[in-house]
Structure 1
Amino acid sequence: MMVVSNYTTLQHQSPRDGKCGLSVPCPGKDFAFKISSGVTSIIGPQICFEGKMIIKKEIRGNRQGISIVVINEKTGEHSKTASFNMWNGDVRDLIAFLKSIEDGSVVLMASFDDPATKLNEEARTLITELGSSYISKVKFRDNWIFVGGKKTMTQAFFEQHMKNDRKTNKYESWPEMIEMEGCIPRLE
């Protein structure tokens, strides 16, 4: 099942926390982001961009699979959000969404529970074209977070992957949460 929503006014971070609570503020007018994968099958992913918590439990969170946020590279405006169930959903919905992303868009993705069971080569190729170097390795219940773009001028890519391995998992059948924060250069 695909879940898509358009931009709405979202909760802002406290000014004392800085944009998205980054440990070090972004220089100049760069865009700030903070992203985390889900944990087990209970705590969903979180995606914050420019001080706006776009995905969290209370706001479009706790949807299993892959959650995606699309941002206009020039304006920093959030254009759309979607979640795709990769356990029992239809990968064609994900593929259609990925194809609909406009050029010049920053794309943020986070996994929750299982991001890979329904992924096929076409979906993986489309995500690779956004700048992912790990999506071909993402398997059942791996944790994965990614920031990339579709024909963006900045070519800023960030990614982390943690394998599901019962010998090293923090939570039996699931690895621990992964988090990432950073700055994306703003076009002037």
Structure 2
Amino acid sequence: MYSGDVKLLLDFLKVIPHGTIVMVASYDDPATKLNDEARTLLSELGSSYASKLGFRDNWTFIGAKGLQEKSPYEQHLKNDAAKNKYDGWPEVLEMEGCIPKKMD
């Protein structure tokens, strides 16, 4: 989240019903505006990387409200100028496959 008000994201994350599957994919920058509360809420959905996201990192994540363990459906690629494939941007992340109808 590079620009905009993080409050909109917080409001959304707080009202997700228990058992709802949530999918997240970063496009530009997932981290700049994420405060501790947003990172905690994403971690509570099962993210292992929400607390570690940095500027222009690539991130894909599927989790669920009420998940008891960390989600196995998550990828994170750190922005690294020495390794970036696209000038100042990391390689593209792709996630494919099936997820269960219910995650808990």
Give yes or no for TM over 0.5.
yes
Q: Deviations over 1:36-57 (max 9, x none)?
A: xxxxxxxxxxxxxxxxxxxxxx
Distance 1:143 1:150 in 2: 22
Query: How big is the shift at 1:152?
Result: 5.2
Segments of 4+ in structure 1 off by > 6 A? Answer: none
Query: How big is the shift at 1:156?
Result: 5.3
Larger Rg: 1
Please, what TM-score do these two structures have when normalized by structure 1?
0.51
- Alignment CA distance shift 1:156-1:168 (3 Å): closer
Matched letter for residue 43 of structure 2: T
| Cα-Cα RMSD | 1.7
The match for 1:139 is 54
Distance 1:120 1:148 in 2: 19
In the comparison of the two structures, how many residue pairs are matched?
A: 101
Distance 1:184 1:156 in 2: 11
Please, what TM-score do these two structures have when normalized by structure 2?
0.89
More strand by share: 1
Distance 1:157 1:181 in 2: 13
The match for 1:126 is 41
More helix by share: 2
Distance 2:49 2:33 in 1: 16
Query: How big is the shift at 1:88?
Result: 1.7
2:47/2:71 contact within 8 Å kept: no
Query: How big is the shift at 1:143?
Result: 0.2
- Select the structure with the greater relative contact order (CA < 8 A; seq sep ≥ 6): 2
Q: Structure 1 stretches of 5 or more lacking a match? A: 1-85
- Alignment CA distance shift 1:142-1:116 (3 Å): same
The match for 1:151 is 66
The match for 2:89 is 174
